[in-house]
Structure 1
Amino acid sequence: MHINLAHQCTTIPCPGCSQLWGLKHNKLTGTLSIGMEFSNQLSLVDLQNNEITDFDGTGGKNIQIRLAGNPICEETGVTKNCCVVPQSNPTSLYTTPPSPSSCPSATCSSDQVYSPRCTCAYPYTGILFFRGILFSDLENSTIYVALQTNLTQFFQLNNLPVDSVSLSNPIMAPYSYLLLNLSIFPYGQDRFNRTGVSTIAFIFSNQSYKPPPNLYGPYVFHGDAYNHFSDTKNSKKSTTSIIIGAAVGGSVLLLLSLLAGVYAFHQKKKAERASLESNPFAHWDVKKSSGSIPQLKGARCFSFEELKKYTNNFSEANGIGSGGYGKVYRGTLPNGELVAIKRAQQGSMQGGLEFKTEIELLSRVHHKNVVSLLGFCFERGEQMLIYEYVPNGSLYETLSGKSGIRLDWTRRLKIALGSARGLAYLHELANPPIIHRDIKSTNILLDQHLTAKVADFGLSKLISDSEKGHVTTQVKGTMGYLDPEYYMTQQLTEKSDVYSFGVLLLELVTGRRPIERGKYIVREVRMAMDKTKGLYSLHQILDPTIADTSLKGLEKFVDLAMSCVKESGADRPTMGEVVKEIENIMQIVGMNPNAESATSSSSYEEASKGSTLHPYGDQSFAYSGTFPV
């Protein structure tokens, strides 16, 4: 089959396939020409909603062509069969609930929905994003029936309050994602309570439900907000009663104040104490926290009971990481959104000052390459921070082979660029500027598209105008990433972060820890480099995962890393200059530095294979602390 795109004829072979429908909504332009070199099994070519202006129909007489939504249908009116949207269409509405006419006994309100059993209810809705499917015929309704039956049986076998489920509107999205609208109907009543919705959302987020393996691959569920909880009316009645009670109580107090001034004085003090209790910072201990209460922009205060509920009582099944500060748990908010909850363990708190610093800094910074802080908890002796959930863990876990995700050279360049942009934002656009002070691979997180996000601001410092570009402070950081100039002088500057970032770049190239078996990565690279030879003769210390692939631009990448780890901070580039240099390297490689990060290469098969090529061991070097001076 030949398709003329933008007036350049491109041959697209289709050996053995029966339908070619993945080219819709792609802005294809020019002339469509069907030649003779196509599979004899090819029966359907679906190019709806593109920019095709002409059609040469001399070839492929037995092939069904769909051109609805193209200029050719609007301007020339070619063969009507090509321009009419068939009733059975891969993107048409596939739905299982009955129509109102087939349920004459049901009388649903305007915002209720008919369930497959002809009952009126308020379903819990959302979208299932399948990242991999093992079928190509989207018109085959039995595929969705199998998924729907499997879902219903799963809920019922697990004694969940679900009567039935409905699937609708299958759509193929970019990157071959399949989107399906999902409606889940309650059992025994017309709406869910809060526990039911929270349990269902948790099952999807925790991946407890597994779709039919012979049809569907990995998935993500995005739940809609549910506004029809069964306890809403009772809550409104309770709220009304409270308001009425408070009004009556206020009137009584007003009358009593006229009779007894002393009594009124005590009542005023009592009201002030009640107001103080409602303040989320009422228990903030200024002495222990080494400062006043945080000044927040956007972050909210969570109660301990809320977080306990979102994490299923901080169960081990929801544990996703740990460190010297404590543990990190995955939690699910009532709307289905996933969060990461960093909980400091008793006896090893990071300190009130560090806790307050991280809250204030992250509530003020907003950048796609900096992890977002959603809130915190500071009660019952607990210190907890609530972040956006970053599903692919840290760069350290990926380089060590623990995550099952394999990073080729281009993905490593994109991760380097994202990390550099996040750090440059902190140095040059934040007001006042922020020095991270603990840049390392365990503090670079990767989201579902492998977009890098700078995390963990517990050791960060602000630079005010009066400090003239540096802060004299106690030396803190991680061995192997620590700037030697900062270690000697105790003067922390933005160039200290640049040094740590240079070590991170060498880590991306070699796949080695900064300090491994007593060998320092900066010294090892400097000794092995020979600029007169290809790849600077670094073959022996390159990460084996990328050693046998095309490494165009590697020499410039190594030059940049070595300039970042120069002994004198004055000789190192700024992070803004580092960003520009990585962008130049990507353009040399033929990449667009402004394109979105590539999606994760981690599939079921790849994740199960893992990687045995990484020299990282099982021991983490993720130590952050104070060094003796």
Structure 2
Amino acid sequence: MSNACSHRQIFLSLCFLFCFTFPCYVKSDELQILLTLKSALNKSSTDVLDSWAATGSFCSFNGITCDGGGSVKEIELSNQKLTGVLPLDSICQLQSLDKLSMGHNSLYGAITEDLNNCSKLRYLDLGNNPFSGPFPDISALSELQYLYLNGSGFSGRFPWKSLENMNNLTVLSLGDNLFDRTPFPDQIVKLRKLNWLYLANCSIEGKIPPSIGDLTELKDLELQLNYLSGAIPSEIGKLRKLWQLELYGNELTGKLPVGLRNLTSLEYFDASINYLEGDISEVKYLTNLVSLQLFMNRFNGGVPPELGEFKKLVNLSLYTNMLTGPLPQKLGSWADFDYIDVSENLLTGPIPPDMCKKGTMRGLLMLQNRFTGEIPTTYASCATMKRFRVSNNSLSGIVPAGIWGLPQVEIIDIAYNRFEGPITSDIKNAKEIGILSAEFNRLSGEVPKEISGATSLVKIELNDNQMSGEIPDGIGELKALSSLKLQNNMFSGPIPDSLGSCASISNINMANNSLSGKIPSSLGSLPTLNSLDLSRNELSGRIPESLSFLRLNLFDLSYNRLTGPVPQSLAVEAYNGSLAGNPGLCSSTIKSFKQCPPDSGMSKHVRTLIVCLAVGAIMLASLGCILYLRRKEKDHNRSLKEESWDVKSFHVLTFTEDDILDSIKQENLIGKGGAGNVYKVMLSNGVELAVKHIWNTDSHGRWKSRSSTPILGRRSGKEREFDAEVQTLSSIRHVNVVKLYCSITSEDSSLLVYEYLPNGSLWDRLHTSRKMELDWDTRYEIAVGAAKGLEYLHHGCERPVIHRDVKSSNILLDEFLKPRIADFGLAKIVQANGGKDSTHVIAGTHGYIAPEYGYTYKVNEKSDVYSFGVVLMELVSGKRPIEPEFGDNKDIVSWVSSKLKNKESVLSIVDPRIPVAFKEDAVKVLKIAILCTTQLPALRPTMRSVVQMLEEAEPCKLVSIVINKDGEVKKKEAMDPADKFNL
């Protein structure tokens, strides 16, 4: 008996000891798991993990919450700038873990671990991380209530069956992933406790099932940017708790369902960019709406007058439909109204007067309708207004003076109306205005001299009015000005000489006025000018020799009173019509002009003597210049050598700093640009390099001395371009992007050393005497290669790179005519926080600039896509982006659009140098170019899709290409490539 008791006591003691010490072992294991997690995230740029040490209690670690027994219950490390590979198999060994929140970080890699060991999880957030590969099965996580995987980089087939047992799910967020296409998953409509369902942009196709109405707890339903088709089911009206309904960017058809009126809690409703039709009367019952977005559909009928009584409504977008009748006059008068866009409809009546009653309105966009009446004076005091656009209507009266001087306005667009009266001096207060578009009205009076105070102006379009007086000299103070259109008015007096100070200007049109005096020679110093029309005025005197230095696509001085000889560089047959109607002009080379008279009053011998003396003087002067330049070059090279240089290499270098500096001399100069000179360098081993030499300037554009310092930390434009180019190119490794070997910088100047591309640019090959060398196969290969380079910039870099100046002169060709994207001086890297770039300086080159620059100034990847579409049009047609044959204010995009009438007309676009056998292949590429240059950015393909489409358009391969609203390839099938261009 005593022996048995002894054994029992020993057993109980062991049990007690085991139970007492087991938590220590558990805690030790949990500490090790957390330290393993910290080690995996050791590249973190945050200090959130500094408290995670081997000593002390892990329950005090940042982001860790323990349960009553001292075990890890929650890991909350979202939005902490963490990076690394997540060790999920280790994390899932935390037996009490019910919350894992790692969203909004930079975690990467594939999820290959078995998450089913995390069976107690109620909350899992891996959203907004750059993971890769498919997402694994999580069937065992039956306790889950919150699942966030949105924007996580996952692809392939999602394990929808995993959701079958998750009956407690209240939040399911899977959107913005590249999952395989799938019909609307049946498993979703069985999750009856869901109140938040985010399935946007995750490749769901087919119809929205009527059973969606069974999810009666839903407050947020987001299905936008998918492939959904068919009608919106009436059963959606059962979701009476809905606060937000997002259906935009699909292929939905039919009318708004009658049951929609039951969603009286709805505040945000967006069904834009679909094929919906019928009236919008159902929305009149949704009295709690804050935002209503139904743009780009096929709706007709009137705007319900009840919208004028909506007390919360702040955003209304109904543009690009077929709506008729007036707008409610009380619209936007109740809440802090933000913007209205009802453009491109058939609306009539007056503009509602009180949308800026609360002083919060930012956008009034009502262009291209049939509105009548005057602009209500209430908008003259709307200090928050940024975009005021009412063009293409039947509005009349005098524009309220305060409109011209709204302090935050970026666009004033009142073109194509019947407005009268002057532009007032208030415009000096419009410090943010970039575009003033008032053409085709009945405006009168002078351009106020106070316009010089609107220093952000990029475009002034006042053509086709009744304006008079002199053009103010202060217009030369508008340093950002790129386009000045004053044609078809009654302006008189001289052209301001100060206009030569507008270094960014590319388009000047003053035709059909009464301007007099001489043409300012300062116009010849404008570096970016490519269109100059001064025709049908009363200009006199000689044509300035300085105009010879311009590279103009459009040039017209016809029907003036110009006299004297035509400058030699302008005395070509191509400019005959551009100089017509000036009987006082003469030329020794153009037959249609009278011959310039020989010098008179002296004998032939005297003239010969003068010529000989002049030639001798020129020779002596030339010799002196040569000696001076050589001496200057030696001094220049010596000064370069004396500077202190900092070399940053991005590839293995086979040359030294001295090899480069010794080659920066006049005889090696191969190009000049706005950013600096370009030199060709031949190394001793036969390798050729190109070196861009950029002189640094201070923030006011003056040359910097060694002793100068940046003013208040500002950097000059050239320095910023240099920084942009180095930042962009240093990390890029792609066969179709020009290779940057190194940067060499000093305080006074900077050098960028590139690979040398011997065949120049695509512009040179297409638009100079060498263009015969490019057959269609070569053009096609250039298109594909350049597209792949841009695709890499947009999709292959850690953060997308927006080039912002895509054009044929920035596509360089190697010895095998393989393309490289070059010149990244204007490039922007998309910031990780998603911030959008916005600037009043239009980046890019006239003819390539996307139309959205004109009204938003927003820079994004779709702007590059538009510019690349222009390049494709160049490749197909052989024409420049701007040609005189296109007509006034027309570019290659509008010219191509005008040709899309029938097969013969389409084929006429193709460069006649392309053989007939390849014309239909060229049309396939033209079709892609048209998609790329669609007016609305959202409807343009991504560069990834452009590459795919171009590869499908390989010569001798007949395809049709259709893309969906978010820019991805929809389908491909054989058809006639010029079949009415049903894009």
Greater fraction helix: 1
Shorter-chain TM-score category? 0.3 to 0.5
User: When the two structures are superposed, what TM-score results if normalisation uses the length of structure 1?
Assistant: 0.44
Q: Which has the higher contact order (CA 8 A, sep 6+)?
A: 1
